[in-house]
Amino acid sequence: MNLNEMIKKLEERKAALVARSEKSEDISELRSINTQLQQINGDIADLRAEQAKADEEKRAAEEAAKKTKEEAEKRAKEEAEKAKENEVDERTAAVNATENPENAENRNAAGGSPAFVPGQGFIASSEGRGVDYTKTLESREDAGQNLKENRAVNCPIGIFTEVRTVEVGDGSTIVVPSYSASDINKDFNMVSSLIDNVAHKSIIGGNSFQQPYVANIAAGGYTAEKQKANTAETTFGYADINSAKITAYGEVTEELMKLPNAPYADEVFQNIRTSMRMTLTKEILIGTGATNRLVGIFSDKATAIDAATDISFATIDDTTLDQIVYSYGGPENVEGSAVLILNKKDLMAFAKVRTSTKERFYDIKSNGNFGTINGIPFIVNSACGHLTGATTAANTYCMAYGNLANYLIVEFSPVEVKRSEHVKFAEGMVAYRGNVMAGGNVVAKNGFLRIKKSATA
């Protein structure tokens, strides 16, 4: 029920009480009616004040959105003009396959992934990128109402795709009203966008999944007349993805219960969703593959990766990126759809590398959690070891380089959220617990090149 409807109901109740007072001659009843009318008048005044405030916030949000859009368009135009002026160096050209467009076209035609787009990932198919979590206002209102009535619901927002803006019916951005959220300050970003860009599959109700991949293709050979043909069998491998239970617990103030259903549901789901995403995006790298754990890229349980392909560095210099780029993939191609995953401190180490004239050797363009190093896409993830750290032990995995579509997360259940008002009743806090069944593994032969800290410089 929105504010206008609440005001309308109070006005109707007020009219009914006035009608009763005109017919009543009982002093006690008249006094009771007068008290109720005063309370109703006060409630109506408060609601109208809130409505006026909400209308003002809506206008301010629309003006801010318009200004932001104009600034973004201006920046995009300036960057496009600047991009035309910059020459593509030999390394960037090789990695993006611009030197041999035929290779890139053949690779895409054969079902390969298109070029990585930071913040969007590899959108080779509707399934590989994940599901569409955009929900209508009506579905969020239903979820919010169910939560308020203490019924378990499935999160309509999801945990695999970043929801940077949430739109309601009039197109305005969801903003928690100041009367209930003025004491809530947003933290720095705690979730690496790695989770948004790996492959995703939904198998609701399942418990395990096995993804086959090509492990080796043998070459043919010459054969003499009437002799048996050369054996050239293709061998396959299988990546096992088993279900793991991930839970998250959060609390909100009881004032949020007064919000309209849609913003209330969004606020609750975002709290639960962020906590689960923090775990999943790290497990993509460091999941041990043990019972009830994902198989991470750095795990020895990621059997699709041959440990003999791992490379090591003691430090980061002007040849490091070249060695990583040209060490990845097969002997016939320089892969153009790969992404470097690294610790923020090692990104700073790339930025510190200088030429003989003290200029920056690496051209780093960052956009929050992702960006490019000399045209090579990167994503920051704090689960990576610190390669340039003095205390980092030898053989610690610190970076990974590869096509993010080579890692698959499988969702075996939707996110279920339940509510309890008993945990912190005295403090006026409402508790929520969410859970989801999911698994993940590397699903392509040597899908990632892993970089370790070497023992000596």
Q: How far is CA 252 from CA 88, 257, 418, in A?
A: 50, 9, 13
Which CATH architecture is the domain 118-457 placed in? 2-Layer Sandwich (3.30)
Task: Return the ∠ at Cα 231 (arms to 228 and 232), rounded to 5°.
Answer: 145
With 0-12 / 13-18 / 19 or more C-beta atoms within 10 angstroms meaning exposed / middle / buried, residue 402 is buried
Which residues lie closer than 8 Å to 122 by C-beta, 6 or more apart?
A: 113, 114, 116, 128, 129, 197, 199, 337, 403, 404, 405
Whole-prediction pTM value? Answer: 0.62
Give the integer Cα–Cα distance in Å for 113 and 197. Answer: 12
- Both tokens of residue 25? 């001659």
Q: Supply the pLDDT for residue 382.
A: 94
Say if CB 276 and CB 413 are below 8 A apart.
Answer: no
Residue-level pLDDT at 107: 38
CB-based contacts of 94, cutoff 8 Å, min separation 6: 325, 334
The CA-atom distances, in angstroms, between 372 and each of 10, 116, 350, 367, 386 are: 58, 11, 11, 9, 19
d(CA 331, CA 440): 28
Q: Residues 248-296: pLDDT tens digits?
A: 888 877 777 777 766 677 677 777 888 888 899 999 999 999 999 999 9
| Residue 88: pLDDT over 60 | no
Q: What is the DSSP letter of 403?
A: -
Q: What would the two tokens of residue 184 be? A: 């809530």
* Tens digits of residue pLDDT in 8-54: 888 888 888 888 888 877 777 778 888 888 888 888 888 888 888 88
Could you give the maximum distance between any two Cα atoms of the chain, in Å? 120
Question: How far is the C-alpha of 79 from the C-alpha of 297, rounded, in Å?
Answer: 34
Q: What is the pLDDT of residue 117?
A: 60
Cβ neighbours, 10 Å, residue 55: 11
Least confident stretch, 159-163, 278-282, 397-401: 159-163
Please state, rounded to an integer, the average pLDDT across all residues of the chain. 78
Strands (E), 311-428: 311-313, 339-342, 364-367, 370-373, 376-380, 397-402, 407-411, 416-424
Q: Where are the domains of the chain?
A: 3-77, 118-457
